[in-house]
Structure 1
Amino acid sequence: MVEDGTVMRGRVTVYSVPGCAHCTQAKATLSALGVPVCDVDVNKHRELRARLKELTGLSAVPQIFFNNLFVGNNEDLQNLVRPETDPERLERLVLSVREDPVPLDAPPVPEDHGLHSDAEVDGACALSEALRNLILKLYSDHLSEDGKRVDYKAMSRSPFFERYCDLAVHLQRVDLLSLSREEKLAFFINIYNALVIHGNLRLGFPKNIWQRYRFFNYVSYFIGGEVYTLQDIENGVLRGNRKGVAQLLKPFSRNDPRLQVALPDVEPLIHFALNCGAKGCPPIKTYTPQDIDSQLRAAAEAFLENDDSCVIDSARREVKLSQIFKWYKADFGGTDEKLLNWVFDHMGASQKKRSLQALLSEGKVKVSYLPYDWSINSTD
């Protein structure tokens, strides 16, 4: 295994069994860390079970060792990589695998048992989990606390970004048709936000309307055997194959194989999760399939509570909204009345919501749109 041009001398050993979801998640997390993983199937190599129980006192899987140091199970590993835990301990573990050869008292592995490569991060869920863990690491290191600004320069120098680029190549092997609706939402939202950053780092941030149009119709990943641009992901997949801003045609034609991947209906809440790299966009977060709708609704509530996105002017009987609601008005009902009702229904309990309720109960309300800040969301 090579990381930043340095050969890793040690290994991480994972004792697992096929079909174990916790084992799959653990291996995806380790792959995202860029460490060499030796995966030992204890069903196939039963002679190691007794020895393993002697070492740890446990028989459940996965069991994870950094060289000769027992880290624990998948839950222990996930706790270890969380940004709020002790990052120095994780760095020491990775450094030990990078610099120290496998010691004589390392846990046993079958003879000629090779290390797993990136190509063995199989399946959309495992790969997206590995990519998500890398994205989380990059975001924790290079995002502002509010998620609205990115330190692009520092991120471009990060070994974790290079690792992300290497792993993103394997998106071409993903079986998108196997994804559930929830998995598809989380997968494509996370990929979209990461692809915007990837495109900005490789090509530079678009500075005018023409450059933006070209950027979103050019920057792409090869996923599941097909090319998906940013426009394809947003308007083709997540908006149920609807025309985007300034688009004359739908992203996918009737015979386009990508149409099978598109969600059957538009998902309005995605507009509060997708970040196009501008300061006027919602904050950048990562999403998981579990409770994805609750996560998106929480993102919408936070967006609407921000005065940069929604202002209630009771004196003028006016509601001022982000341009996002103008560009995608059809997704929110298509009329001012339906738009305002959607906004009200998706607000959290607050004074702002009570003010809007009072206006709506009194009759006609004017809708206008706030200026959009297209400047780059960089910390510089």
Structure 2
Amino acid sequence: MVEDGTVMRGRVTVYSVPGCPHCIQAKATLSTLGVPVCDVNVNKHRELRARLKELTGHSVVPQIFFNNLYVGNNEDLQNLDPERLERLVLSVREEPVPLDAPPVPGENSLDSDGEVDGAACELSEALRNLILKLYSDHLSEDGKTVDYKAMSRSLCFERYCDLAVHLQRVELLSLSREEKLAFFINIYNALVIHGNLRLGFPKNIWQRYRFFNYVSYFIGGEVFTLQDIENGVLRGNRKGVAQLLKPFSRNDPRLQLALPDVEPLIHFALNCGAKGCPPIKTYTPQVREVKLSQIFKWYKADFGGTDEKLLNWVFDHMGASQKKRNLQALLSEGKIKVSYLPYNWSINSTD
């Protein structure tokens, strides 16, 4: 669709994070189109996160714009109608970047040292992205074996170690159950790898006991060993294998973070570094999302004033359809996140 040597006047802006497979696929697709891509790492340019959420209604990546035209995420890009895609490429080729195009960082707008503040979810996401990069470079396709020697020499691992230091400043009490699960599962799996790289893999029962009871991170002002994370937090403060006592006593401040009940699925997510463990993966909080027009945001008070009343109003006024059945299922499950689609202010002329 684009001839070789064609000068592009506009740009495609992709908001992404390193190691994200959807971001990688989206940028590979755009590369085949021959369009100029401005890749914005939202982990490095944190000042653009809020603006991106405001523009798109989403905080996940990638988010893609052709000049000032919002396309959506990687799935939206892959599913574009060929004719519409051709029009978008043409707009980038012929039209200069408009004033209302999404923001990109200036040459001098980088964070001073790339530090992440004390927000647990943000730091967890940044660490998760580095873990994804490490896994993509050094993990086997089935997720069961790790090239530890190559990983130990990786610059990405050095960056992970630097970022892990900031765990000591995170605030954890505000995390929801889903956020806590994702945060601590990811940290556990990363800590196992970190411990293996720094201390070596335990070879007998005594070494394994010491490894899981002493390898630790300083998180939110408290020390968490691997045993503390698994049995104290994720298993609701239950005794682990060969443990005589619960990880947290009644007066232990870490007890506030323990799940009220055990989550059995963690046993299919935690990887202790042995071949018998489940494949290593990363996890995000599972929150159901309903996307609505900005009109519902602007006049939310007219529809009840709360997300719950708004969704019930929408449900009551929907005709019989698969979407209504899907919404009914989400309402019955609870924990729904409401987000709002970008509003298209372009004139609705047929010309």
| TM, length-normalised to structure 1 | 0.50
Structure 1 residues 358 and 162: alpha-carbon distance in aligned structure 2, compared to 1, 3 A threshold? closer
SS across alignment from 2:88? helix
1:170, distance to aligned residue in structure 2 (A): 0.7
1:2, distance to aligned residue in structure 2 (A): 38
- Listed as ranges, the gaps of 5+ residues in structure 2 are none
- CA distance in 2 between counterparts of 1:269 and 1:202 reads 29
Structure 1 residues 33 and 353: alpha-carbon distance in aligned structure 2, compared to 1, 3 A threshold? closer
Contact 2:139-2:146 within 8 A present in 1 as well = yes
Structure 1 residues 155 and 215: alpha-carbon distance in aligned structure 2, compared to 1, 3 A threshold? same
The equivalent of 1:329 in structure 2 is: 300
1:35, distance to aligned residue in structure 2 (A): 22
**Stretch moving more, 153-162 or 40-49:** 40-49
Structure 1 residues 21 and 333: alpha-carbon distance in aligned structure 2, compared to 1, 3 A threshold? same
Contact 1:149-1:378 within 8 A present in 2 as well = no
1:178, distance to aligned residue in structure 2 (A): 1.2
- CA distance in 1 between counterparts of 2:58 and 2:251 reads 54
- CA distance in 1 between counterparts of 2:41 and 2:137 reads 34
Of 220, 224, 228, which residue of structure 1 is paired with 2:220? Answer: 224
1:274, distance to aligned residue in structure 2 (A): 0.5
Per-residue CA shift, 1:63-118, capped at 9, x if unaligned?
999999999999999999xxxxx999999999999999999999999999653145
Structure 1 residues 103 and 17: alpha-carbon distance in aligned structure 2, compared to 1, 3 A threshold? same
1:144, distance to aligned residue in structure 2 (A): 1.0
1:240, distance to aligned residue in structure 2 (A): 0.3
**Stretch moving more, 185-194 or 55-64:** 55-64
SS across alignment from 1:221? strand
- CA distance in 2 between counterparts of 1:158 and 1:278 reads 22
- CA distance in 1 between counterparts of 2:58 and 2:340 reads 60
Structure 1 residues 376 and 173: alpha-carbon distance in aligned structure 2, compared to 1, 3 A threshold? farther
- CA distance in 2 between counterparts of 1:158 and 1:93 reads 39
- CA distance in 1 between counterparts of 2:329 and 2:99 reads 73
- CA distance in 2 between counterparts of 1:160 and 1:19 reads 10
1:288, distance to aligned residue in structure 2 (A): 1.0
**Stretch moving more, 95-104 or 343-352:** 343-352
Contact 1:134-1:160 within 8 A present in 2 as well = yes
Per-residue CA shift, 1:37-65, capped at 9, x if unaligned?
99999999999999999999999999999
- CA distance in 1 between counterparts of 2:136 and 2:283 reads 14
Structure 1 residues 72 and 256: alpha-carbon distance in aligned structure 2, compared to 1, 3 A threshold? same
- CA distance in 2 between counterparts of 1:125 and 1:61 reads 15
1:369, distance to aligned residue in structure 2 (A): 51
Per-residue CA shift, 1:214-249, capped at 9, x if unaligned?
000110011111110000000000000011111111
Q: Percent identity?
A: 93
Structure 1 residues 326 and 252: alpha-carbon distance in aligned structure 2, compared to 1, 3 A threshold? farther
SS across alignment from 1:137? helix
**Stretch moving more, 113-122 or 156-165:** 113-122
Matched residues, number: 349
**Stretch moving more, 28-37 or 249-258:** 28-37
Contact 1:38-1:113 within 8 A present in 2 as well = no
- CA distance in 2 between counterparts of 1:367 and 1:55 reads 15
Of 299, 302, 320, which residue of structure 2 is paired with 1:349? Answer: 320
RMSD: 18.7
**Stretch moving more, 116-125 or 355-364:** 355-364
Structure 1 residues 344 and 177: alpha-carbon distance in aligned structure 2, compared to 1, 3 A threshold? same
- CA distance in 2 between counterparts of 1:64 and 1:3 reads 22
Structure 1 residues 99 and 162: alpha-carbon distance in aligned structure 2, compared to 1, 3 A threshold? farther
- CA distance in 2 between counterparts of 1:333 and 1:36 reads 45
Contact 1:278-1:374 within 8 A present in 2 as well = no
Per-residue CA shift, 1:155-191, capped at 9, x if unaligned?
1111111111111111111111111100100110011
Structure 1 residues 370 and 15: alpha-carbon distance in aligned structure 2, compared to 1, 3 A threshold? closer
Structure 1 residues 148 and 59: alpha-carbon distance in aligned structure 2, compared to 1, 3 A threshold? closer
SS across alignment from 2:29? helix
Contact 1:71-1:77 within 8 A present in 2 as well = yes
1:122, distance to aligned residue in structure 2 (A): 2.7
Per-residue CA shift, 1:299-338, capped at 9, x if unaligned?
xxxxxxxxxxxxxxxxx99999999999999999999999
1:264, distance to aligned residue in structure 2 (A): 0.6
Structure 1 residues 131 and 15: alpha-carbon distance in aligned structure 2, compared to 1, 3 A threshold? closer
1:368, distance to aligned residue in structure 2 (A): 49
- CA distance in 2 between counterparts of 1:376 and 1:53 reads 24
Structure 1 residues 156 and 119: alpha-carbon distance in aligned structure 2, compared to 1, 3 A threshold? same
1:279, distance to aligned residue in structure 2 (A): 0.8
Contact 2:216-2:224 within 8 A present in 1 as well = yes
- Listed as ranges, the gaps of 5+ residues in structure 1 are 81-85, 290-315
The equivalent of 1:8 in structure 2 is: 8
